Amino acid sequence: MSRKFQVKTVPSSWIEHNGRRLDCGPYVSGAIEAKEVLSRLAFKKDKLQDLTKGGINGLVNPGRITRIWVDDPAHGYPFLSSTDILQADLSNISHIAKSVARQNSQLLIKDRWTLITRSGTVGRMAYSRSDMNGMACTEDVLRVIPCEEKVEPGYIYAYLCSKFGVPLVISGTYGSIITHLEPHHIADLPVPRLGEVEDQAHELIQRAADAQVESGKLRNQAGAMVNEICGFPQKLASGARIFAYSSANSNDVLRRLDATFHNPIAQQAEALTKAANGISLSSAGVLGYESNRMKQVFVEEGYGTPFITSGGIFSKTITPERYLRNQLLGEDETWRINEYDTLVARSGQVGGIIGRGVWTDSRLDGFAASPHILRLRPTSEEFPPGYVYAFLSLTDVGYQLLARTAAGSSIPFLPLDAVLEIKIPTTPSLQQRHEIDELVKRSGELRKQSQELEKEAVALVERTIEEGGR
């Protein structure tokens, strides 16, 4: 439910059916409207807890845990936060100690579950993919474990994240918005049984999940190719900034005196690119763009340009966060995201999203970029865009070179001129660079396909319910 001023007209029968409540919240949120539509359905309806494994025990809140972090993956499990479950790339998440998971077996998740954020922004959902199987997940996420003998897991997900499911999930017993989601809040949530539509929705959701997994494999393959050809290790350091000491030539400190720029990990990364015959990104024909800081005036859809922030670019589902007033945008289009750009988060804390890159598939083409996003745009056929992205964002060498450029103490940022001085290897042959480029482009297409399939599944469920409720 949006917090902006809203007006909604409701039938008097809704008020009669809901204890003559006159506060606007339950009606505007959509929860009561969803209940009214579902009540008119000719379809059979089951309670959610009757479709989960073990009844209400299939709605899992694992409880609070003590977080013990480890650097070595051999001693931990990848740990998904309530934000991570919505991300496309899970390769950079933290690891929690295996001893924590042994104390609470409900911490680990399996694929084909529905994951729902239960605090903060309640009701954001994800379908657990095969690459999430066996990972640990925060207690701030509720697990919905379907009984696959009774219902297809993809259908449960498609229904819960539909315009009928979401309002019911986030509403309390009487329609008020809840701040913490517990199993009993959604145990009796009605689930319409839609026959063959359930199988169709499940197939679409499963295909969407498989496309995301395949996309990740192609990205990993592209990064591994760069590492192998250039002789780069898979990992240089456990963290972006670790306690260390080093020495630097006096000529190297004329422009940057901060110690983190000259840390030994960064020096090692620089030496590796030098050995791989690296030349600067600018010399390789890569152009860099940064949006000017301006007064941001947002308007309704249809009256402005889609706008996205540095956090939004990492999401599995790309949607405009807001719409920026067109009159504020310059004619030179330095604000514009183009397909095949490499987007780099330029602000934040080192070790977080700063320095992390995202490949621009066609979903982001034409968006306006936040000032906290750098756009790198290759212009030379000798350095195709997918190769530039793979080096900077899919290898630890590229990431360390980006992270070292961070300047500032409170909120570090990446200066564009320093980023364009990063050297990109020329050791891979032109044919190899184009092979890497093709892997990245195929990965981007699969991400787009995944979002379209998931959207199609949800639309199918919503359309079937609407047509059955008339």
Highest-confidence segment of 7-16, 93-102, 225-234: 225-234
Instruction: Give the model's pLDDT for residue 4.
Output: 62
> Residue 397: which of 270, 262, 275 has the closest Cα?
270
Instruction: Give the model's pLDDT for residue 245.
Output: 59
Instruction: Give the model's pLDDT for residue 21.
Output: 61
How far apart CA 33 and CA 18 sit, in angstroms, is 11
How far apart CA 355 and CA 404 sit, in angstroms, is 9
Q: 407 by DSSP, 3-state: which?
A: strand
Chain centroid, CA 402 distance in Å: 21
Instruction: Give the model's pLDDT for residue 246.
Output: 63
Give the mean pLDDT of 139-159. 96
Are 299 and 285 in contact by the 8 Å Cβ rule? The answer is no
Q: Tens digit of pLDDT for each residue in 363-386?
A: 999 998 888 999 999 999 999 999
- Using pLDDT thresholds of 50, 70 and 90, give the confidence band for residue 333: confident
Are 359 and 386 in contact by the 8 Å Cβ rule? The answer is yes
Record the pTM: 0.89
CB neighbour class for 201 (10 Å; exposed up to 12, middle 13-18, buried from 19): buried
In percent, the amount of the chain with pLDDT more than 90 equals 59
Highest-confidence segment of 13-27, 44-58, 395-409: 44-58
Q: Tens digit of pLDDT for each residue in 405-450?
A: 888 777 788 899 999 999 999 999 999 999 999 999 999 999 999 9
- DSSP annotation of 20 reads T
In percent, the amount of the chain with pLDDT more than 70 equals 86
Q: Tens digit of pLDDT for each residue in 63-105?
A: 888 889 998 888 999 999 999 999 999 988 999 999 998 888 8
Give 18 or 38, the one with higher predicted confidence.
Answer: 38
Averaged confidence pLDDT in the chain: 87
Give the mean pLDDT of 319-338. 82
- Using pLDDT thresholds of 50, 70 and 90, give the confidence band for residue 146: very high
201, two tokens: 């929705």
Give the mean pLDDT of 39-47. 84
Instruction: Give the model's pLDDT for residue 157.
Output: 97
Give 409 or 57, the one with higher predicted confidence.
Answer: 57
pLDDT at 175 over 70: no
Domains, the chain, ranges and CATH?
A: 12-193 (3.90.220.20), 217-446 (3.90.220.20)
How far apart CA 61 and CA 43 sit, in angstroms, is 30
Give 360 or 3, the one with higher predicted confidence.
Answer: 360
105, two tokens: 């077996």
CB neighbour class for 29 (10 Å; exposed up to 12, middle 13-18, buried from 19): buried
